[in-house]
Amino acid sequence: MQPGFFDLDNRLQLLEKLGDPLPKLQRSVDWEAFRTLLNVVHEKKRKSNAGRKPYDVVLMFKILVLQHLYNLSDEQIEYQIRDRYSFCRFLDLSPEGQVPDARTVWLFRERLKEKELVEQLFDLLMQQINDAGFIARKGQIVDASFVTAPRQRNSRDENAAIKKGQTPEGWEDKSDTVLRQKDVDARWTKKNFVNYYGYKNHVSVDNENKLIRRYEVTTASVHDSQVFDVLLDPDNTNANVWADSAYRSTEQEQSLNANGYRSHINTKGRRNKPLSNRAQQANYNRSKVRCRVEHVFGTQEAMGGMLVRTIGKARAGVKIGLMNLTYNLKRFSWLQGQLA
């Protein structure tokens, strides 16, 4: 049968009717608002005008969003763009158009790291979200989640040297290829008798819209309470702050009170001094609000965000920052749909 003139449009309309979320995401966000900042990526002196011109920066940014939305590697995102009509429509590419290869995607992400643009992109998105009327309301919830990294098979002596900021003995003799696969930034920690290796994603989520307002990336060994003050959002219209018992201390309670916040941090029992029934009930009531942050981490886990396959804290920070940004994009699109 000879293909009709509107066959592609009909197919795309059917995909959206069947639940494709990308058209809604495309309409919800002003993607051009990121262009000025993203153009910094190409701010380098060209030796000549010869050669292929770089791909559009907004196109490349949207490719990174797709990667984190569907948990795709650089090779897989190239394949899926070539294969899927829905991806081409989201990227404003024709099915026969040129597609950036895996290496180009990797290089663009590296430039974001070198220029330290991810946090600025996150802030730009939050400004857009606030302008749309979804400001931070009803207080904030602070929590952290482990983001595991590939485990390094190092000896105890090698790990001890890494913790001291030294190069382990004998590593100088290894090839550059081997050394590039050694993550000297990630750290081990233990929680509830389970060992974790990698990094932490510390977030502050507003209680009204479940949007990530602030975030901080650290190694896994950093205690949650050490970045608590950095995460607090002074722009929230409500002074209530929820967090689990790891954040509670006398100094923290005094600091929150002095800065005009109302603490709803869970209390914790001590050895030979368990919580009273009243304290347990208070924790239960607080946790009914605090659990909303777990919905955020659950969505990110479904997106494949609780694992990084990169090497080093700088690249992990880019990965986790883009994961938080993509979550907010997805949530923003949903909120606008609910408003409509």
Residue 260: CATH number of its domain? 3.30.420
pLDDT confidence bin for 2, thresholds 50/70/90: low
Are 226 and 297 in a shared domain?
Answer: yes
Does residue 20 surpass a pLDDT of 90? no
Q: Work out how many domains the chain is built from and give that number.
A: 2
- 205, part of any domain: yes
Q: Is residue 34 predicted with pLDDT exceeding 90?
A: yes
Q: Which pLDDT score is estimated for 305?
A: 77
Q: Is residue 96 part of a domain?
A: yes
199, 217 in Cβ contact below 8 A?
yes
Q: Could you report the per-residue pLDDT of 93-146, keeping only the tens digit for each?
A: 987 788 999 999 999 999 999 999 999 999 999 999 999 999 999 999 999 999
Region label for 139, one of left (φ > 0), alpha (ψ between -120 and 50) or beta (otherwise): left
**Same-domain pairing of 226 and 98:** no
| Mean pLDDT along residues 223-238 | 94
103's tokens: 């290496």
Answer yes or no: is pLDDT of 284 > 90.
yes
Distance between first and last Cα of the chain: 40
Q: Which residue would you say has higher pLDDT here, 279 or 166?
A: 279
Mean of pLDDT over the chain: 89
Query: Is residue 125 in some structural domain?
Result: no
Q: Are residues 87 and 145 in the same domain?
A: no
In a domain, 51, yes or no: yes
Q: Are 141 and 281 in a shared domain?
A: yes
- Is residue 185 a contact partner of residue 316, using CB atoms and an 8 Å limit? yes
Q: 270 lies in which domain range?
A: 135-149+186-313
Mean pLDDT of 31-43: 93
299 with 198, same domain: the answer is: yes
In a domain, 140, yes or no: yes
pLDDT at res. 3: 61
Q: What pLDDT score does 44 carry?
A: 72
Q: Is residue 173 a part of any domain in this protein?
A: no
For residues 179-216, one letter each, b for 16 or more C-beta atoms within 10 angstroms of the residue's C-beta and e for the rest, the string is eeebbbbbbebeeeeeebbbbbbbbbbbbbbbbbbbbb
What does the longest C-alpha to C-alpha distance in the chain come to?
Answer: 80
Owner of token pair 């970045």 = 227
Is 208's pLDDT higher than 60? yes
Confidence of residue 205 (pLDDT cuts 50, 70, 90): very high
Length of the chain: 340
Confidence of residue 212 (pLDDT cuts 50, 70, 90): very high
Give me the pLDDT at residue 150, please: 87
pLDDT above 70 (res 300) = yes
Q: Note the Cα 281 to chain centre separation in Å.
A: 33
CB 266, CB 243: distance < 8 Å: yes
- Which whole number is the average pLDDT over 78-100? 89
| Confidence at 325, pLDDT banded by 50, 70, 90 | very high
Tokens representing residue 226 in the block: 């050490």
- Residue 330 identity: K
- Span 64-90, mean pLDDT? 93
Looking at the chain, the whole-number percentage of residues with pLDDT higher than 70 is 92
**pLDDT of 227 higher than 80:** yes
Residue 191 domain flag: yes
Whether 88 and 190 share a structural domain? no
Handedness of CA 112, 115, 119, 120 (dihedral sign): negative
Secondary structure element (H or E) that encloses residue 189, with its range: strand 187-191
The DSSP output letter for 226 is: G
6 pLDDT higher than 60 = no
| Cα-based distances in Å from 340 to 130, 227, 249 | 17, 37, 43
Per-residue pLDDT averaged across 1-18, rounded? 66
Provide the pLDDT confidence category of residue 167 given band limits of 50, 70 and 90.
Answer: confident
- Give the pLDDT confidence score for residue 92 in this predicted structure: 92
pTM assigned to the model: 0.91
212, 31, 22, 205: which is closest to 126 by C-alpha? 212
Please indicate, yes or no, if residue 323 is contained in any of the structural domains.
no
**Nearest Cα to 100, choosing from 165, 203, 150, 109?**
109
Average pLDDT of 144-173? 81
